[in-house]
């Protein structure tokens, strides 16, 4: 049985080859693309289970590629994505998360770390998908209703005031953690524990970027959305009032 399919997009063929070999050794199936344009066409027609995109590429960079995929609908719109960023371009991290990426890794990177993060994200995606497809006998997670918010973890579906909102796997996990206990403050570290369950090193400010992205998506459905509150120096909480 074939393993999860990983779409690798990078204009550096040496990186593509070395990462592909490492992932195949771990049981993954890889598809390689050296530019964003060819990756956009292929992934739109046949989405992978997860994408690993370099940000700095000619013609169409990783940010534009992800944005086009997220706007296109279908399976490609919700495909988890990890960005590879240049170590000397720290702003890439914020841009990548703001564009809807699930994670980022700075170059040069450990292939072991990349594999760990891929597995962590795929595990979360699988948890969201399996009960809805009847592939697991585990109890189906309960639907969460909080004011105008409706979350169905089994189907990875979110609605606000009966309007659908599309979230990445990481965004869904963060919002779910907040919505499960309205009014209770969650620190950045607590939300990191939810979003990154593997032994990986992630700046706690990563959560801020995810929260901004979540708010932006909900405000696209309802400009008055203010259910996620910031308590400066403390963390975040969900209000269903």
Q: Which has the closest alpha carbon to 184: 222, 234, 226, 150?
A: 234
Token pair listed for 179: 């919505």
Q: Which has the closest alpha carbon to 168: 220, 131, 124?
A: 124
Domain that holds residue 67: 5-130
DSSP-derived letter for residue 27 is T
207 and 156 assigned to the same domain: yes
154 and 101 assigned to the same domain: no
* pLDDT score recorded for residue 225: 95
How do the pLDDT tens digits run along the chain, 241 residues long? Answer: 678 999 999 999 999 999 999 999 999 999 999 999 999 999 999 999 999 999 888 889 898 999 899 887 677 888 899 988 775 555 666 666 667 788 888 787 888 888 888 987 887 777 655 544 444 455 556 889 999 999 988 777 899 999 999 887 788 889 999 999 999 999 988 888 777 655 455 556 778 888 988 998 999 999 999 999 999 989 999 997 6
226 inside domain: yes
* pLDDT score recorded for residue 98: 67
- Where do the DSSP E strands lie in 111-241? 144-146, 149-152, 157-160, 163-164, 228-231, 235-238
CATH of the domain at 85: 3.40.50.2300
Domain endpoint, select from 77, 110, 130: 130
156 and 208 assigned to the same domain: yes
* pLDDT score recorded for residue 91: 63
125 and 184 assigned to the same domain: no
67 and 150 assigned to the same domain: no
pTM score, two decimals?
0.66
123 and 220 assigned to the same domain: no
Q: How far apart are CA 169 and CA 157, in angstroms?
A: 11
Domain count, the chain: 2
187 and 72 assigned to the same domain: no
CATH of the domain at 205: 1.10.10.10
**Rounded to the nearest 10 degrees, what angle do helices 206-221 and 188-195 cross at?**
80
83 and 24 assigned to the same domain: yes
Q: How far apart are CA 48 and CA 219, in angstroms?
A: 29
135 inside domain: no
* pLDDT score recorded for residue 132: 45
136 inside domain: no
Token pair listed for 207: 């959560």
Token pair listed for 51: 């994408």
Q: Which helix (H) or strand (E) holds 150?
A: strand 149-152
Q: How far apart are CA 34 and CA 9, in angstroms?
A: 6
Domain endpoint, select from 102, 130, 158: 130
């Amino acid at each position: 049985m074939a393993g999860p399919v990983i779409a690798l997009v990078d204009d550096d063929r040496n990186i593509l080859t070395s990462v592909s070999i490492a992932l195949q050794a771990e049981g993954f199936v890889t598809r390689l693309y050296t530019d964003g344009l060819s990756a956009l066409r292929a992934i739109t027609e046949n989405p992978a289970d997860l994408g690993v995109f370099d940000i700095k590429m000619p013609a169409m960079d990783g940010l534009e590629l992800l944005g086009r995929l997220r706007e296109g609908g279908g399976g490609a719109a919700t495909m988890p994505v990890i960005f590879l960023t240049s170590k000397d371009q720290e702003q890439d991290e914020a841009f990548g998360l703001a564009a809807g990426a699930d994670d980022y890794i700075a170059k040069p990177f450990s292939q072991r770390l990349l594999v760990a993060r891929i597995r962590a994200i795929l595990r979360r995606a699988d948890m969201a998908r399996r009960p809805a497809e009847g592939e697991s006998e585990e109890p189906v997670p309960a639907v969460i209703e909080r004011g105008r918010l409706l979350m169905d973890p089994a189907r990875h579906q979110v609605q606000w005031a009966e309007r659908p909102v599309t979230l990445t796997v990481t965004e869904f996990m963060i919002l779910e953690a907040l919505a499960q206990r309205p009014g209770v403050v969650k620190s950045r570290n607590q939300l990191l524990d939810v979003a990154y369950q593997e032994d990986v090193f992630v700046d706690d400010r990563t959560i801020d970027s995810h929260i901004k992205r979540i708010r932006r998506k909900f405000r696209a459905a309802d400009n008055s959305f203010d259910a996620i509150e910031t308590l400066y120096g403390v963390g975040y909480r969900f209000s269903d009032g």
